[in-house]
Amino acid sequence: MLRQLTIQNYAIIDELTIDFDERLNIITGETGAGKSILMGALSLILGERADTSVLVNKERKCIIEGYFTAGKKTAVQVFLQQHDFEEATTTDHSVVIRREIGSNGKSRAFINDTPATLQQLKELAGLLVDLHQQFDTLELGDSDFQRTVIDALASNENILATHQQYFKEWSAVLAAFNELQAQKAALQKEADYNQYLCNELEELSLKENELEQLEEELKLLSNAEEIKTVLDKVSLELASADDPVVARIKQLNNSLQTMQTLVAELPALSDRLKASQIELQDIADEIERINNNIHFDAQRIDWVNQRLSDGYKLTKKHGVSSTAELLAIQTELSNKLFAAVAIDEAILAKQVQANDLMHQLKQTAKQITAARNKVIAPFEASVNTLLKQVGMPNAQIKVSMQTVALGAYGVEQIELLFDANKSNRFEPIRKVASGGELSRLMLCIKSLVAEYIDLPTMIFDEIDTGISGEAAKQVGIIMQQMAAKRQIICITHQPQIAGKANAHYFVYKENKNDQIKTNIKILNNEERITAIAQMLSGEKPTAAAMENAKEMIRIFGT
C-alpha cells in the first residue's frame, strides 16, 4: 500500500507530504484547488512521461517520492530480485519509488535508490497500484481483462498455470514436429540425387590419400627408365665398378691405419673414414633395392591414369581438390540418406508426445470451462445487483462464452455484453456503454474481483462523476467494503462518499509569498463535518447541512 507521498516543486505545489491510511482515504477540495495535480504527481512515480511545464520554479528540480509497503506480496520481491534492485530489510518489505525532473528537463527514476527505467517503474507500479481514473475504463472492453475477471472469480489461477505450461510444451513439440516434417520433405526431394552421388563415390571406393599417392606413383612409372639409368650409374660407381668408391675408401683407410701409432690424431680420422665407408655401402645397397623395385609397367600406367581420371572427375564435380574432401562428402551423403530413413522415427516420437500433451490440454481445458460455467450466473447476478445500487436500475450484463480453438487460456472466448435499458438487446460493452456507465460498471466488477485476487492499492479519480444522491451513497458503500481488505484512495465531489472515509484529506489553495500554492491537510472530526456540509450546501453551510454531515459521519464514518 501507499504509506506516504512526498511532492516538491510540482506545478503549484511547493512542498507537501501526505501520510495515507491503510483503509479508505478520501480526498476532497474545491474545483481547481489542485486535486488533479496530486494525481499528475502520483502518475510520475507510476511511470508516466514527464513534462517540464510542471516546473514552476526553474531553479529547483521536481521530486516525487512514494513510500510503499508490499507486505507478503511475493511478486514485488520477485521483481526486485530479477532487476537487481536492493530489497528492503524491513518486515513490511517497503519500496521507495522516486522521480526527479531537473531544471534542464531531464528526468530520472529510482527504485530503492537504484536508477530505473520508466518501463520498470510501470511494471512495478502495476504490482503496487491500480489507478482508476474518470475515463480510464478502456480495459473493461478488452477481452483479456474480461476473461481474467471470470477466471479470478472461478479460482482458475492454478489450473490455468498448469494448462499454459502444457500449451507451451505442446506448442514447442508441434513446432519441432513441423520442422521435422519440413526436413523430411527436403530430404525426400534430394534423396534420389544424393543416392546417385553416393553410389558414384562408393563405386570408386577411394582409400585415404589415394589420389595423392597415385599421382606420386604415376610420376615414378612415367620416368622409370630414366630413373633406372641414373640409379644403375650411381650403384655401379659406388660398389660394382672395376675400382668402386667403397673399395677405394677401404684401401685408403687401410693405408691410414699403418700410421696410427705415429700420429695421435689419425685413429679418430680412421674411424670417421670407416664410418663413411659403411654409410656409402649402405647407400649403395638402398639404391640397388630401389632400382630392383622400379619397372616400367605400361598396364599399370594405364590403370593409374584411369583411376586418377575417375577421381579427378568427381573432385571437379563436387568442387574439391583432395581425396579427404571426397571422402568427407561421401560420409555427409551417407548421413543424409540415413537421416531420411531415421527421421520417420523422430516424427513418430514427436507425434506421440504431441498427442499426449493434447490429451492433457483437453483435460485442463475441460476443468477451466467447468469452473467458468459455475461462476457466470452468480457473477451476472452480483454485478446486476450492484448496478442497481450505483444508480443503474435498468442496466444488465451478460457473459458470452463462445467455443474457439484450444489455446493458452482454454477453449472459450469470453465477452461481457451490456444492456443499459432492459431492452434484452445485449451488445459488447465496448460498443454500447457510455463513459459514466463504464466507470460504475468497472467499480462493480473490481469490487467483486477484489474478493478473490490480491489487487494492489486502488486509486479512484472522480469515478463518481455524473451521479449523486442514493447512487453516490451506494458507490461509497462499495468502496468502504473494498477498503476493509485493501487500501483505497478516492478523489470525490460527493459528500455521501466523503462521509465514509477512514482518513479525509482536504486540498486547498493558499497565498504563500505572494504566490498561489496548493496544499493538503488531514481533517479532524469537526473539520470533516464542515467540509462535508459545504459539499452539501455551499461555502456557508446551513444548520441542516451541518446536521446531515454529522449524520453521514456517524452512520458511515469511523
DSSP annotation of 109: E
Whether 153 and 448 have beta carbons less than 8 Å apart is answered as yes
Task: Give the pLDDT mean for 438-462.
Answer: 77
Whether 150 and 415 have beta carbons less than 8 Å apart is answered as no
1-134+462-558: CATH topology: Rossmann fold (3.40.50)
Least Cα distance to 291 among 335, 242, 226 occurs for 226
Whether 86 and 63 have beta carbons less than 8 Å apart is answered as no
354 confidence band (pLDDT: 50, 70, 90): very high
Beta strand ranges found along 203-244 (DSSP E): none
Beta bridge partners of 491: 27, 461
Least Cα distance to 108 among 61, 67, 68, 66 occurs for 61
Task: Give the pLDDT mean for 106-129.
Answer: 88
In angstroms, the CA 481 to CA 48 distance is 30
The percentage of the chain sitting over the pLDDT mark of 90, rounded to a whole number, equals 25
- Residue 144: predicted pLDDT: 83
50 confidence band (pLDDT: 50, 70, 90): confident
Least Cα distance to 205 among 132, 310, 54 occurs for 310
Task: Give the pLDDT mean for 182-199.
Answer: 81
Task: Characterize 169-197 residue by residue with b for buried, 16 or more Cβ atoms within 10 angstroms of its Cβ, and e for exposed.
Answer: bbeebbebbeebeeebeebeeebeebeeb
- Residue 199: predicted pLDDT: 87
- Residue 404: predicted pLDDT: 94
- pLDDT tens figures, 218-231: 888 888 888 888 88
Summary mean pLDDT of the chain: 85
- Residue 131: predicted pLDDT: 64
In angstroms, the CA 430 to CA 139 distance is 9
User: Cα–chain-centroid distance for residue 209?
Assistant: 52
70 confidence band (pLDDT: 50, 70, 90): confident
Model confidence, pTM: 0.63
Three cell numbers written together for 218: 604415376
- Residue 137: predicted pLDDT: 46
Instruction: Give the alpha-carbon dihedral of 44, 47, 52, 56, to 10 degrees.
Output: 10
Distances (CA, A) of 53 to 48, 102, 534: 14, 12, 33
Least Cα distance to 416 among 429, 433, 434 occurs for 429
Range from 51-55, 351-355, 535-539 carrying the lowest mean pLDDT: 51-55
Instruction: Give the alpha-carbon dihedral of 132, 136, 140, 145, to 10 degrees.
Output: -70
More confident: 72 or 94: 94
- Residue 20: predicted pLDDT: 92
- pLDDT tens figures, 287-346: 888 888 887 778 888 898 898 888 888 888 889 888 899 889 888 888 877 767 778 888
List the domain boundaries for the chain: 1-134+462-558, 181-342
Least Cα distance to 139 among 438, 558, 392 occurs for 438
132 confidence band (pLDDT: 50, 70, 90): low
**DSSP assignment string, 6-27:** EEEEETTEEEEEEEPPSSEEEE
